[in-house]
Copies of this chain bind each other. A is one copy, B any other.
Amino acid sequence: MEVVFIGSGSVATHLALALKEKGVTISQVYSRTKSNAAALADKLGTSYTTDLSEIYDKADIYFYALKDGSFRNTLKSFDLPDAIHVHTSGSISMSEFDGIATKYGVFYPLQTFSKEKEVDFSKIPICIEAINADTQQKLLDLANLLNSKTYLISSEQRKKLHLAAVFACNFSNYMYDVSSQILEEIGVGFDILHPLIMETALKVQSVTPYKAQTGPAVRFDDKIITKHINMLKNRRDLKKIYKLLSKDIHKRHKKI
């Protein structure tokens, strides 16, 4: 099987390397930025282009791993070869391919990627959507080749899944960031919180977050909540967040 990657960011890099390792031929890499295209092509031992009119047209699957903003423009800028076209985005509808391609779908790895950090695709859920059963099976085959867990997720579901991921990943990370800011004030290194953060994430692998909820808000401990809010007097933004989240947790766990 031959694959072309349109895009050279974190998702493209990790996915292309993982597919190559499983014997898939990566025929070409495209990126608007020459240094990025060259860097990924070099890692993959393949060729690259920065010109959409030079896209290799004999591949079986074209992966679009682009920023959401440049996806639509890229699609408009060249004639898509007769092959399977898939994007890897959590927030773009599959219907963006309507009228442009005939075989298309979505191959969305639900994980947070950094270029430097290695990833193990066998632990990554792949959300698949396809325009027809044949394309769907080809995408499932590809995900199975990576030993990934596969989920059939519609565009409508994927939008909300992406929203859920913002809470589970981006916003929980911001909670860590706030805690690191508080520790800075008292001159204590962030490593003191490492085990607590790991255990909190580990817990919800086996019980629901609802059941795992602890802390002053769920115990309705007004005294501690008031003390904490007072400690945040110089950080109006954090005070607001503390109050809002505590109120919400309280409401959710209140026995009627």
Contact = CB atoms under 8 A, between A and B. Distances in A.
Interface of A: 68-69, 91, 110-112, 114, 117, 123-125, 127, 151, 153, 156-157, 159-161, 163-180, 182-183, 185-188, 190, 192-205, 208-210, 212-218, 221, 223-224, 227-228, 231-232, 237, 240-242, 244-245, 248-249, 251-252
A209 to B, nearest CB: 4
A174 B237 contact: no
17 contacts: A110-B195, A112-B199, A114-B203, A153-B188, A159-B231, A163-B232, A165-B179, A167-B178, A168-B193, A171-B215, A172-B172, A173-B213, A174-B248, A175-B175, A190-B208, A194-B204, A237-B248
A161 B231 CA distance: 11
Contacts of A68: 221, 223-224
Nearest to A122: B195
A114 B248 CA distance: 22
Contacts of A251: 237
A179 B203 contact: no
Given A157-B188, A248-B237, A91 B174 contact: no
Given A112-B203, A195-B125, A201-B201, A170 B213 contact: yes
Given A151-B188, A188-B151, A202-B198, A193 B164 contact: yes
A202 B157 CA distance: 27
Contact of A168 (B123, B153, B170, B179): B179
Contacts of A209: 173-174, 176-177, 179-180, 190
